[in-house]
C-alpha cells in the first residue's frame, strides 16, 4: 500500500488518464477522489458516474447531456456529467459495462476533448481529467471483442491496481480503528444513542 500511495502522489500532479482496477469494494472511487483532491484540479468539480448503474438507453444522455426534444421526456436541455466536470475530474466507474456504440463516443471525447449532446450537432469542448475504474478484466474483454482496444489503451495510460483486503491483512487493524473512530463520533455521549 505504501507503493500505491507513492504512485498516487506522483500521478496526482499530472493530467494523464488513469485506469483503476480491482475487485468490488477495494476503494476505487476513494482512490479517484484522492487523486483529484491532490491535483491542480482540486478547486473544480469531481463528477462521478457509475456506468453500470444506469440503463444503457439513458447512459449516453447522462454522460453527454441532451437537448430539449432529443427523446421522450427530454423537456429541457441538460448538461451531462462530462460537461459538468469541465476543469475538474470525471470518474467513470464500471466503464467495462458500456456498449460498443457508447465506447466509440467516449473514445472520441477522450481523443478530441469535445462531444455533442444527444440530439445536437454543436460540439462542446471540455477540459477534463478522466479516471476510469472497473472490476472487469478489460484485457480479456479486448481479446474477446467486447471492449474496444483503442479505448482500452486511451484509458490505461496510468494503470493502478488495488489489491483486495485479503491480500493486505496488515491494513485490517488500521481500518477497524478508523471505523470505530467514525462510529464514536456518531454516538451522542450524553445519551449513548446514535445521533
pLDDT of residue 168: 66
**Residues with Cβ < 8 Å from 5, sequence gap 6 or more?**
none
| pLDDT of amino acid 7 | 81
pLDDT value at position 73?
Answer: 84
Looking at residue 144, its pLDDT comes to 96
User: Cell numbers of 116, please?
Assistant: 455533442
The size of the chain, in residues, is 195
Confidence label for 188 from pLDDT (cuts 50, 70 and 90): low
The three three-digit cell numbers of residue 188, written as one number:
451522542
Distance (Å, whole) CA 10 – CA 29: 18
pLDDT, one tens digit per residue, over 82-131 is: 999 999 999 999 999 999 999 999 999 999 999 999 999 999 999 999 99
Residue 42: all three cell numbers together: 482540486
pLDDT at 185: 79
The CA-atom distances, in angstroms, between 9 and each of 13, 28, 31, 54, 61 are 7, 15, 11, 32, 34
Q: 104-119 in b/e burial notation, b at 16+ Cβ within 10 A?
A: ebbbebbeeeebbbbb
Q: What's the pLDDT score for residue 8? A: 83
pLDDT digits (tens, 9 = 90+) for 132-187: 999 999 999 999 999 999 999 999 999 999 887 777 667 667 667 777 877 777 77
Give Cα separations from 55 to 50, 78, 99, 140, 184 (angstroms): 11, 18, 11, 23, 38
What confidence score (pLDDT) does residue 62 get?
95
Output the pLDDT for position 25. 84
- pTM comes to 0.84
Q: Which residues pair with 188 in a beta bridge?
A: 193
Model confidence over 55-80: pLDDT tens digits?
Answer: 988 999 999 999 998 888 888 999 99
Amino acid at each position: 500500500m505504501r507503493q500505491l500511495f507513492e504512485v498516487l502522489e506522483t500521478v496526482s500532479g499530472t493530467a494523464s488518464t488513469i485506469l483503476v482496477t480491482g475487485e468490488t469494494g477495494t476503494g476505487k472511487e476513494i482512490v479517484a477522489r484522492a487523486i483529484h483532491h491532490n491535483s491542480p484540479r482540486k478547486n473544480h468539480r469531481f463528477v462521478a458516474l457509475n456506468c453500470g448503474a444506469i440503463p444503457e438507453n439513458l447512459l449516453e444522455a447522462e454522460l453527454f447531456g441532451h437537448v430539449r426534444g432529443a427523446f421522450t421526456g427530454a423537456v429541457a436541455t441538460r448538461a451531462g456529467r462530462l460537461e459538468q466536470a469541465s476543469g475538474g475530474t470525471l470518474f467513470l466507474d464500471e466503464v467495462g459495462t458500456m456498449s460498443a456504440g457508447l465506447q466509440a463516443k467516449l473514445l472520441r471525447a477522450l481523443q478530441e476533448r469535445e462531444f455533442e449532446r444527444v440530439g445536437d450537432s454543436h460540439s462542446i469542448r471540455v477540459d477534463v481529467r478522466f479516471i476510469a475504474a472497473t472490476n472487469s478484466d478489460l484485457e480479456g474483454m479486448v481479446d474477446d471483442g467486447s471492449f474496444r482496444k483503442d479505448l482500452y489503451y486511451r484509458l490505461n495510460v496510468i494503470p493502478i491496481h488495488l489489491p483486495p483486503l485479503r491480500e493486505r491483512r496488515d491494513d485490517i487493524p488500521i481500518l477497524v480503528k478508523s471505523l470505530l473512530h467514525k462510529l464514536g463520533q456518531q454516538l451522542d455521549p450524553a445519551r449513548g444513542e446514535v445521533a
